[in-house]
Structure 1
């Protein structure tokens, strides 16, 4: 059975103060799917969430929720009539209301006994019972997020929007919360969109990632696809550490690199003689201790579950991530599984990609 499309964003553009902020953005969210809108600051992430929630008009395109048109350049369904919950970056809790009262604000008036029980259940579900009568100023960042999340969920949304909700938290706290919120949303069969600048948050959260830059979708797909099969150099660089090895295309399936000649199972897509850069992620390089190896370990950073090494190979420095333990100063032999290489046209000398 095909999952229901909860959200359809089709060729949506938005202007703020006469400046284009979103440019023909298209993507969809299916039932129970967790999406991440990822991108640098000022890439249009918050604007996109506000447009979906009905807080901003669209200049072009269409936004539909559960098959019903919500936003077009000519019409817009009011925010309070959309089946959407929104958790703001600053949580937007009412400072004069307790945690329990902030949750109750999501319920219609007058509150019934059923609504009161729903508030109590949400307090218990989110671990807020002990701080129910505290005010936001007396709550930690995590507790404030839990209140904001509970308030949004009490509205029974079909789609939940979270705008960078984790910036005030350390990585362990954030990772634990992401796992907990994911489980909660999956259990309740609620689709959700997380907007963030953090690739770590995006990878931990997402079934699907939409990468934005300057209001445009650069690439979208599952996290693995974006990380290991980027369609352009800027995507590769934004998503993590990159190694680029200069290569020369020898034939439709062969190329020459500083480590020797390689063969691909599929056509390389570049004419013979082309100068390209071969993208190799740190996890794709294997190291073996070898006194006659061509590479030298210059530095090591221990991450707990793995090590990140800085490797010197002739005039090049490579980043390698592996669980194996080596000492700085040791000679090593390096190897790379060729599989199907990701190649980009070589940059001219003294040119770097910053976008």
Structure 2
């Protein structure tokens, strides 16, 4: 473990009620790094955060914080002795305590004047000076999150864990809070992990994304790498709308598709004659009005800054996102930049159900 590593998760597996939830998870977090653990529901994100925080045991592997082993199958350092703070999905505020009292819960008893000053400073820092005397039931979702965040920060953690804290907020509110929390953590030099099902949150938050699927890490890297260099279909499909065009590999750099032959700048990595599916993102397709075009605009959804079109090309329908304006029923010409194609082995055809004999 290097001196700059705050968290090291090595081959960690966890079980809940004798059922496997995490399977061989490995990743690390450096000082001041903001990580996102991304994945669908029931992929193991909350279990992973709770294992790091010391709320759940591990059945295999090791979790280390700031160079000290915290969890192994034989060792489990109590949560309150770990240099990590956790913001729960429901914020876990005490309903009988005010916002200020919930913050102060992170301080030792009896509180010194230094601790009281720290609570007041946190109220001011998080814009809660008008909310300190209110109870959680009288606070908005954003204010409750701020209280929960402040309580975790008052523990002075080296690592902050946030378990899906934004679901009750609209997109503008969420984006503003993500930017604010990022700035706060960078200023205080605190590393953090956000767990979420939202790729928008993941991309806005992260220096590094760990993508979980059925308890396993299927890819990790910076957001750009995961979006534009997915290693498997599950990654590509989870991170956004996808189009797949069937192709045949003609040579080391060339392939044939329903739109003609294309040439790549680097080797395709498949034997000649291979049947593959070409991943094309909606924004990677260009449309041009052409009465003789081979594609037809079937539908349009206006998104403000862009339009999403359903475009029919022969026997298939493509999703295209562009700022250009077309009307349903218009013929268009399609073009795609093929410089760095992402190819996956073609899926086997679905079996045809046999009709019951009459």
Q: Quickly name the TM-score band, shorter chain normalised.
A: over 0.9
SS of residue paired to 1:226 = helix
Q: 1:149 to 1:354 in 2, by over 3 A?
A: farther
SS of residue paired to 2:134 = coil
Deviations 1:296-340 (A, max 9, x none): 111111222221111111111111111222222222211111112
The structural deviation recorded for 1:21 is 0.9
Deviations 1:115-158 (A, max 9, x none): 11111111111111111100001111111011000100111100
SS of residue paired to 1:9 = strand
Q: 1:146 to 1:354 in 2, by over 3 A?
A: farther
SS of residue paired to 1:179 = helix
Deviations 1:142-189 (A, max 9, x none): 110110001001111000000111111111111111111111111111
Q: 1:354 to 1:107 in 2, by over 3 A?
A: farther
Measure the CA separation in 1 of the matches of 2:50 and 2:20.
15
Q: 1:145 to 1:218 in 2, by over 3 A?
A: same
Measure the CA separation in 2 of the matches of 1:114 and 1:328.
66
Count of matched residue positions in the alignment of Structure 1 and Structure 2:
355
The structural deviation recorded for 1:264 is 1.1
Measure the CA separation in 1 of the matches of 2:39 and 2:356.
16
Measure the CA separation in 1 of the matches of 2:129 and 2:327.
50
SS of residue paired to 1:325 = coil
SS of residue paired to 2:247 = strand
Measure the CA separation in 2 of the matches of 1:304 and 1:105.
45
The structural deviation recorded for 1:269 is 1.2
Q: What TM-score, normalized by structure 2, do the two folds share?
A: 0.95
Measure the CA separation in 1 of the matches of 2:2 and 2:124.
34
The structural deviation recorded for 1:6 is 0.6
User: C-alpha root-mean-square deviation of aligned residues, in Å?
Assistant: 3.5
Measure the CA separation in 2 of the matches of 1:353 and 1:115.
77
Measure the CA separation in 2 of the matches of 1:91 and 1:238.
27
Structure 1 stretch 84-93 or stretch 166-175: which is displaced more? 166-175
The structural deviation recorded for 1:96 is 0.4
Q: 1:319 to 1:154 in 2, by over 3 A?
A: same
The structural deviation recorded for 1:31 is 0.8
SS of residue paired to 2:273 = coil
The structural deviation recorded for 1:239 is 1.1
Measure the CA separation in 1 of the matches of 2:167 and 2:307.
26
Unaligned runs of 5+ in 1: none
Q: 1:285 to 1:3 in 2, by over 3 A?
A: farther
Query: Which residue does the alignment assign to 2:198?
Result: 198
SS of residue paired to 1:131 = coil
Measure the CA separation in 2 of the matches of 1:234 and 1:249.
22
Measure the CA separation in 2 of the matches of 1:174 and 1:203.
13
Query: Which residue does the alignment assign to 1:353?
Result: 356
The structural deviation recorded for 1:32 is 0.8
Q: What TM-score, normalized by structure 1, do the two folds share?
A: 0.96
Unaligned runs of 5+ in 2: none
Measure the CA separation in 1 of the matches of 2:129 and 2:68.
37
Query: Which residue does the alignment assign to 2:255?
Result: 255
Structure 1 stretch 16-25 or stretch 92-101: which is displaced more? 16-25
Deviations 1:199-236 (A, max 9, x none): 11111111111111111111111111111111111111
Structure 1 stretch 26-35 or stretch 112-121: which is displaced more? 112-121
Structure 1 stretch 292-301 or stretch 143-152: which is displaced more? 292-301
